[in-house]
Chains A and B, each alone.
Chain A
Amino acid sequence: MPKELWKGNEAIAEAAVRAGLQAYFGYPITPQSEILEYLARRMPELGRAFVQAESELGAINMVYGAACTGARVMTSSSSPGISLMMEGISYIAGTEVPAVIVNVMRGGPGLGNIAPSQADYNQAVHGGGHGDYPRIVLAPASVQEAIDLTALAFDLAETYRMICMLILDGSLGQMMEPAEMPEMKPIVQREFDWAVTGAMNRPRRILSSIYIDPVAEEVVNFRLAKRWQEVQVREVRYKEYYLDDAEIVVVGFGTAGRIALSAVRAARAEGISVGLLRPVTVSPYPYSVIEELAKHVQGFLVTEMNMGQMFDDVRLAVQGRAPVEFYGRPGGVVPFPDEILAEIRRLASGQWSPDPDARLSWQKRMASVIQR
């Protein structure tokens, strides 16, 4: 297929359609409403289901119901809306049905603003709904990657009967880039051995997240954990840039990762041996890649559009073998490459942070900015 100029939000919507999306349920919220708007037009054209629900709670529970039939289903929202969906997300996870959820993150906490943010990393990767449940989280950094990962999300969700979430921010949602769409896949009604499709001529199936007997629930928890081990072995994805001879490694996902790429190239032009690791799956996280790098690099610089959330995962992988520094812009503020370049220069000149938690040193350096 030839490349076309696609806006991020619309590209995700069309990629979902081409991946065989059968039903979409959503509720508008900036900065992702173009996904819903696009599908409001496109899904009925194809005779597929589109419902603008009465609320995010309605939308996620419609996703839950449709997912139980084995259909390819999706919802999308932005930070406050995703928070509202968390109960349903836990139920979907506890019922072990596949669902794709897109979170176009915005500045928070609370109502916040509509500017680009990565502050829902912990909610997506480590927290969110209640209970012990694993989930796959993908973090695209370009329109093409958003398309490719949307298609992948449905396959992963079905393979592992698991929630697969895409996290991106409004800048990627609004950005236009040339991208290639995959071919339209025909709708396939998959014959899952768990789906509830009407028990004609077969034993009935029951899908539920209720296990009144704790012993039975314990079995479920172990089953989810076993499935997660498979995901961790098979599905880690990341991109490396200039890492071969890097002494300093920048780690960033999504938009912060691609902004860091510009800073890394500029630093390379100045003769600094710096590279970039951009996790594409933030859950499962590329711990072992970072662990390996930690054995021979001087140190790491984590850059995020939040107060330092993925930072903890990098530290977990590094296990104290090397210093881990932080630079972030929270609240909906986006860093310029120049800001990250200044941090790389600081580290290249040997000025590592004195605090054991480099976030504290970063907060001190930011004092002039935050007193504005």
Chain B
Amino acid sequence: MQKEILIAGFGGQGILFAGQVLAYAAMDAGKVVTWIPSYGPEMRGGTANCTVVIADEEIGSPWVLHPMAVIAMNLPSFNKYEPLVQPRGALVVNQNMVDRPARRTDLTTVFIPGNEIAEEIGDRRLLNMVMLGSLLAVFPVLRLDEVKAALQAHLPEKHKRLLAQNVAALERGYAQAAGITVP
């Protein structure tokens, strides 16, 4: 059994790093994991993204056509991946960058004001951790404390001063999504 998470948006929204944090947390939890940036079949059409596959056994394809969970940081990603999420999957959308409601009714879709929350905490670059926190609330592939521990353990030394803010962003995103009643 494996779980696939695709994180998509514009370059500069911290997409690759959000995926790496998830991959580190999966590794530390003893899982098998692959992280791969936009570099394959999913490149057929536009947005920047990375795919993280987490499993208990040897992973086959590092890419999937229909991921179980998607974080869409902007409108092009929302448009592209909403139709591709597996039925009953999870979709976390950055509300501040989209202008339409969800079309699928068979998904757990949450709209998170990611940019607003990141700026409230003090840095718009925390968007990726806010959205990752929200994902964990609706798609519990790993526990929030496992991801927080991975940040603590693997954040490069020169960025350690940013740890508290990043953890706060994860927690705020998680709380925001957990507080939304989902169907």
Contact = CB atoms under 8 A, between A and B. Distances in A.
A366 interface: no
Interface in B49-103: 58-66
B20 A116 contact: no
Contacts of B34: 175-177
Contacts of A265: 60
Interface in A69-119: 115-116
A116 B60 contact: no
Interface stretch (A58-66, A318-326, A334-342): A334-342
Contact of A333 (B20, B24, B41): B41
A261 B55 CA distance: 14
Given A5-B23, A5-B24, A178 B32 contact: yes
Nearest to B24: A5
Contact of A336 (B20, B33, B64, B154): B64
A177 B59 CA distance: 10
A115 B39 contact: yes
Contacts of B36: 171, 174-176
B147 to A, nearest CB: 14
Contacts of A3: 27
Contacts of B173: none
B27 to A, nearest CB: 4
A171 B23 contact: no
A174 B65 contact: no
Q: Give chain B's interface secondary structure class.
A: mixed
A177 B27 CA distance: 9
**Most A C-beta atoms less than 10 A away, residue of B23, B61, B64, B154:** B61
Contacts of A259: 60-61, 63
A336 B58 contact: no
Interface in A158-180: 170-171, 174-178
Contacts of A176: 20, 23, 34-36
Nearest to B31: A178
Contact of A175 (B41, B43, B58, B62): B62
Nearest to B32: A178
Given A5-B35, A176-B34, A176-B36, A336 B63 contact: yes
Interface in A217-233: none
Nearest to B26: A178
Nearest to A335: B41
B130 to A, nearest CB: 23
A171 B27 contact: no
B124 to A, nearest CB: 26
A294 interface: no
A52 interface: no
B115 to A, nearest CB: 27
A337 B32 contact: no
Interface in A133-158: 142
A265 B34 CA distance: 17
B153 to A, nearest CB: 11
Contacts of B60: 258-265, 337
A287 to B, nearest CB: 25
Given A5-B35, A115-B43, A333-B41, A262 B23 contact: no
B179 interface: no
Given A142-B58, A336-B61, A338-B65, 13 more contacts: A5-B23, A31-B39, A171-B39, A171-B62, A258-B62, A259-B60, A259-B61, A262-B61, A264-B60, A265-B60, A334-B40, A336-B41, A336-B63
13 contacts: A5-B154, A31-B39, A116-B40, A174-B36, A174-B37, A175-B62, A176-B20, A177-B33, A258-B61, A261-B60, A262-B61, A262-B64, A336-B63
